[in-house]
Amino acid sequence: MESRLRRLEAVQSMLLEIGQLSSTCTDIRQFLQSVHAALGRIMYAANFYVALSVDGTPNSVRFVYFVDEVDEPPDPREVVALASADQSPTAWVILNRQTLVMTAAEHIARNSSGDAFGIGTVAEHWMGCPLLDQDHQPLGAIVIQSYDKQHTFNEEDQALFALIANHVSSALQGLQSMDRLERAVRERTLRLEHEVAERRRAEKLQTALYEIASLSASAADTNALPERLHQIISKMIVAPNFLIALYHPDTQEISIPYFVDEKDGEAPVKRFQYGIGMSSYVLKRKQPQLLDAWSYRQLVEAGEISEPLGNESIASWMGAPMLLGDQAYGVIIVQSYDDSVWYTQSELDILAFMASHVAVALARLYADRAIRKAKASLEEQNAALNTALTQLQDAQSELVRQEKLASLGRLVAGVAHEINTPLGICVTATSHLVQELKLTKEDLADGRLDEEGLNSFFDVIDQSLRILTTNTQRAAALVRSFKQVAVDQSSDNIRSFNLAKYIDEVLLSLQPKLKGKPVKVEVDCPIDINLESFPGAVSQIITNMVMNSLVHGFEEGKPGRISIQGRLDGDHVVFDYSDDGVGMDKETLGQLFDPFFTTKRGSGGSGLGAHILFNLVTGALGGTVKVESSPGNGLHYHLRFPRDQRK
């Protein structure tokens, strides 16, 4: 009786200890170790283990605590798929949520009846109790076993073990909740640390890109870039061995403007043909490459890398092309001879990202250089053109005094002489462009035209078009200056005149041009329209309209009709002019008012008539002009301008 009381006191003490441990322990394994030690004080417990369900489901378990005299303990972190109740005593206890007690004979009998019942060594006595939550759902199983026939578990032991399992279940619920909370905190902390690391990395990358952009904006040429670029990239990647290779498509060569290496004092070659070495390999594929010593040797042996240059005892190597679209500017290479420094895909991505931005910086530098060169050339041309312009202005002053609008042909001849220089440059540029086109066609026919050759041809086209644009614009500006002389000559002082009578007077002055032509002119204008305006401008407008119809609208010998209508619309005059000539298509009509545009070059058309007409209507008369035409339907002008210019 006394021994029984001592055992009950020990049990009570153990249960109190379990309660205290559940509130003080934060680690489940430490808690179960203490439970095991306390259990050993009241019964034989040399072999003891606990299996807990993972994520609250009985489909998988972890053996979080396992002490055994015979079998090796499983990894407490390993998740094990739970067997069926017929295959494992532990699974039987968890799935049936009942206590199971087996002797060795009973265990062997189960094995002989079918599949093996469990995978461990058969114990002399095995006892397992389910661990259940408050909803009677399985948390796992607690097991005690003996391989010694002298140590078995009687009914009292079984009852005590079931009681202890119940208290352990209650304690584990609290511990698992705390464990899940701690795991969630740890996972959240890890995620936050990862986010912070990524943000810091992004900030470094953003700073590096800003510095690269600043370099391209401040450096006069590429000589200022490499060393600083090495410093910027070294902040992101371990780069004691660094190389920049520039590609020259015009000569199909690669140059090495910057080279830093732990083993070689200087680059083995400073300039070599495209197709040789690792730089050519990266440029050919236009993709960043990550290699180690083995993969490097494989490429060399396979002939993928022709004539390797530099030290080949690399541990890790990566190279990224400097690409802008399809244009390759070169390669950035970083390598390591140290087996402890291995580059990863993440670092290759950073290098590739940086290389693409370096390509943008190089493109900007090259463009600035080309602009400066073009600017110097343009300044020389402008100096020559300014001299010519001064001479033209002197000639213009003389022509203003000697010529009226009727002498426009002679004026144009003078203009043509003075704009000979820019037009000559245009002819030269066109000839050069034709020659380059011929050579490119030959290369294409012979199969020699590659991407670099095509890009080079595009560059020639771009340069030639810039030259043509610059000089044709200059020629147009000179012509417009002379055109304005003609406009000014046609703008006399304001005076009063009757529109109908003035139209008749102008048509009378044009009779020599109309005589002998099968063209009939019809006028519909009220006799009471009196204008306070510029009669010279009106005269020039009508003259240009009629002459344009005679020269461009009517074919030789073919009959035609010209209609002129005038009417008042409030304080404005509406003036309509139309012919039934050949008309013009949409494209030609769009160029009608362009200076020197004509459909009869060399046949009496100067190309200034419609342009001067437009300037007179919108300038001197302060009105608007619209024009309509289509092939075979003649041409129709619609003019609207103020009746009284004094107002």
Higher-confidence residue of 638 and 380: namely: 638
pLDDT for 613: 82
Among residues 225, 273, 267, 221, which one has the least CA distance to residue 249? 273
Q: Taking all residues of the chain, what is their mean pLDDT, rounded to a whole number?
A: 80
- Is 61:138 a contact under the CB 8 Å cutoff? no
CA dist 481 and 409 (Å) reads 15
- Split at pLDDT 50, 70, 90, the class of 177 is low
pLDDT in tens, 470-522: 677 656 655 654 444 344 344 457 888 899 988 887 887 677 677 778 889 99
- Is 507:523 a contact under the CB 8 Å cutoff? yes
Dump strand ranges (E) for 305-441: 316-324, 327-336
Q: CB neighbours of 119 closer than 8 A, spacing ≥ 6?
A: 88
CA dist 107 and 89 (Å) reads 9
CA dist 235 and 218 (Å) reads 21
Among residues 32, 158, 60, 36, which one has the least CA distance to residue 100? 158
The answer on pLDDT for 2 being more than 70 is: no
**Among 329-333, 416-420, 456-460, which is the least confidently predicted range?**
416-420
**Among 115-129, 276-290, 540-554, 590-604, which is the least confidently predicted range?**
590-604
- Split at pLDDT 50, 70, 90, the class of 218 is low
In this prediction, residues 277-286 reach a mean pLDDT of: 86
Q: CB neighbours of 174 closer than 8 A, spacing ≥ 6?
A: 22, 23
CA dist 322 and 351 (Å) reads 10
The answer on pLDDT for 127 being more than 80 is: yes
Strands 495-498 and 519-524, sheet pairing? unpaired
pLDDT in tens, 552-606: 888 888 889 999 999 999 999 999 999 998 888 888 888 787 766 666 655 545 5
CA dist 130 and 208 (Å) reads 60
Single pTM value for the model: 0.35
pLDDT for 562: 92
- Split at pLDDT 50, 70, 90, the class of 525 is very high
Question: Ranked by mean pLDDT, which of 3-7, 368-372, 393-397 comes out on top?
Answer: 368-372
pLDDT in tens, 20-64: 666 667 678 888 888 888 888 888 999 999 999 887 677 889 998
Q: CB neighbours of 63 closer than 8 A, spacing ≥ 6?
A: 49, 50, 51, 73, 74, 76, 78, 80
pLDDT in tens, 403-421: 344 434 434 444 454 566 5
The answer on pLDDT for 643 being more than 60 is: yes
CA dist 479 and 106 (Å) reads 117
pLDDT in tens, 249-266: 888 888 888 888 888 878
Strands 57-67 and 80-81, sheet pairing? antiparallel
